[in-house]
Structure 1
Amino acid sequence: MTNLVWLITGCSSGFGELFVRQLTAEGDRVVATGRDAETRLAHLKETGAAILDLDVTLPQAEIEKKFKEAWDIYGTIDVLVNNAGYIQCGALEEISQEELQRSFDTMVHGPINLTRAALPYFRQRGSGWLLYMNSQSGFVGEPGATAYCASKFAIEGAVESLSKELAWLAPGIKPLIVESGIHGTEVMAKIQHVPSRVPFWEPLNEAARVRSRGNYENPAGSAPDMVSKVIQIVKGTGIAAGRDIPLRIPFGSHCLSEMRKKIEQLQKTYDDWESVAISTDLEEGKIPMPRLPDEK
């Protein structure tokens, strides 16, 4: 397969760094980005990747300038990998509005702004991949992880809507949400815990700290293996050969187990409350807007 050009955010460590190293080893061209790139991405220069300073929390206009700068390096971009992020722990009552906003700026507005910047280029060419490195926390809420889960849930909803918009009018552009369980990366060692602001929640906070240390010291999954498989999915090789690619793909048995558990709970709720749910229906056949192609 022809080698691709990738733009990747959050490359200082973790999944981002792994993408850069694996892709350049395969002969693909990469624009590796991050904040304070000259310093924080210096260890990636040996890979041959282009290094670009990019803070995903910049305003839309600045993001668009940065995307064009990245595009102009190789004259194209085939795959945008929205990977930048961090984990902020703390109970809902203790998380401040400012802390919640920082999570949304990085993991919701950042990817959405970059997507807006990429779409005109991808539409003109008629193709492109939009990857969102997400988490099981985008489907299953976790105690003590309000800010992280809220932002991950939000980007799931935004990208699901985007996928239906693209399927209708730009089917050559493919979004993919990677729902990762616990894999061994440095992000688990960099979790930010809010100060103890409400004594009532201290047992929860301490449990979150213990869980974080355990996840870092004994991860459940191989991060390099996961990144390798995501690359195969984009290229249609290996595990992805001959398969249709869905909007979401989970990684990790614990992730899959937690998601299935929630689906079972939801199904039971919908079955138990079906009669109540349909009791508010008005007369059938009234459609508030034209049906989209994927609607039955």
Structure 2
Amino acid sequence: MTKQTWLITGCSSGFGELFVRQLTAQGDQVVATGRNAETRLAHLRETGATILDLDVTAPQAEIEKKFKEAWDAYGTIDVLVNNAGYIQCGALEEISQEELQRSFDTMVHGPINLTRAALPYFRERGSGWLLYMNSQSGFVGEPGATAYCASKFAIEGAVESLSKELAWLAPGIKPLIIESGIHSTEVMANLQHVTPRVPFWQPLNEAARVRSRGNYENPPGSAPDMVSKVIQIVKGTGVAAGREIPLRIPFGSDCLAEMLGKLEQLRKTYKEWENVANSTDFEEGKKPMARLPG
């Protein structure tokens, strides 16, 4: 199996920590990153990974400096894993602009800035993997999860556009969105709940707390198993052997059920409104220019 070098964000726990432990155990080289890395990632030093302090919400120039530092550690980076994130709970009316901005800074601007930092290196080499650890919440909105869903929807759109840009001009660079259902990590135990501001939404906030406790205590999916399969996908082994890798791959029966349910509803809606949708088309021969490739 070909050894690779990985840069992973959000390694203090959860998927990030699992990536570090599984990859180093396989002999891959890993740059494990996180905020306050000297203390928060100290438990990963015994893995042999390079520990790098990296706040994904830092300005672009700082992100580029950190990426170069990671690259120089081993002379290359083969796979960038954008994993850092958290869940901010609260109804849209109660979420402040500042809270929403923090979610976007971490889960939209952070991955995009790191992608910008990686692309010049990957373009020069002609290859590289760009992984985005996303969620079913990037396709299905959830009550009480406005900030999280909005940020996850946003990165899906950005990466889909990126995938078409790369397919056109740099096909050796592969973006991949991992759409995860609920797996056995600490994320559900570390939810950030909005400060109650509107009494009307108190029942929703309490329901979110009850649901998160249940998801944490009885998760339907195994996080180590999922991380193992994501690694196989990048390496083209195991579950990925002989298969073409799409832009998005869901993990978890709960995720798949939610997504298929939404797709069915969308198909029904679009079919019912097909005549209205088509009614605004230009007459034949007066249509605008074709779109760009992709």
Distance in 2, matches of 1:29 and 1:188, equals 29
Deviations 1:146-169 (A, max 9, x none): 000000000000000000000000
Q: Say whether 1:103 aligns with 2:103.
A: yes
Aligned residue for 2:134, secondary structure, equals: strand
Q: In structure 2, what is the equivalent of residue 288 of structure 1? A: 289
Q: In structure 1, what is the equivalent of residue 90 of structure 2? A: 90
Q: In structure 2, what is the equivalent of residue 50 of structure 1? A: 50
What amino acid is the match of 2:81?
V
Distance in 2, matches of 1:21 and 1:79, equals 16
Distance in 2, matches of 1:54 and 1:283, equals 54
Q: In structure 2, what is the equivalent of residue 273 of structure 1? A: 273
Q: In structure 2, what is the equivalent of residue 252 of structure 1? A: 252
Equivalent runs, 1:127-206 vs 2, <5 Å? 127-206=127-206
What amino acid is the match of 2:250?
P
* Residue identity (%): 87
Distance 1:290 1:201, change over 3 A: closer
Distance in 2, matches of 1:233 and 1:9, equals 19
Distance in 2, matches of 1:199 and 1:214, equals 24
What amino acid is the match of 1:276?
V
| Runs of 4+, deviation exceeding 4 Å | none
Aligned residue for 2:207, secondary structure, equals: helix
Shift of 1:272: 0.1
Shift of 1:2: 1.6
Distance in 1, matches of 2:2 and 2:215, equals 37
Distance in 2, matches of 1:99 and 1:290, equals 36
What amino acid is the match of 2:18?
L
Q: In structure 1, what is the equivalent of residue 74 of structure 2? A: 74
Distance in 1, matches of 2:110 and 2:124, equals 22
Shift of 1:291: 3.6
What amino acid is the match of 1:288?
M
- Count of paired positions: 293
Q: In structure 1, what is the equivalent of residue 12 of structure 2? A: 12
Distance in 2, matches of 1:157 and 1:273, equals 24
Q: In structure 2, what is the equivalent of residue 3 of structure 1? A: 3
Q: In structure 2, what is the equivalent of residue 228 of structure 1? A: 228
Identify unmatched segments of 5+ residues in structure 1. none
Shift of 1:195: 1.4
Identify unmatched segments of 5+ residues in structure 2. none
Q: In structure 2, what is the equivalent of residue 238 of structure 1? A: 238
Distance in 2, matches of 1:123 and 1:215, equals 41
Q: In structure 1, what is the equivalent of residue 124 of structure 2? A: 124
Shift of 1:290: 4.9
Deviations 1:242-265 (A, max 9, x none): 000000000000100000000000
Distance in 2, matches of 1:99 and 1:291, equals 36
Distance in 1, matches of 2:101 and 2:175, equals 25
Aligned residue for 2:220, secondary structure, equals: coil
Distance in 1, matches of 2:20 and 2:60, equals 25
Distance 1:275 1:39, change over 3 A: same
Distance in 2, matches of 1:219 and 1:19, equals 19
Shift of 1:289: 4.8
Distance in 2, matches of 1:238 and 1:284, equals 50
> What is the TM-score with the length of structure 2 in the denominator?
0.98
Q: In structure 2, what is the equivalent of residue 27 of structure 1? A: 27
Shift of 1:196: 1.2
Shift of 1:287: 3.8
Deviations 1:107-148 (A, max 9, x none): 000000000000000000000000000000000000000000
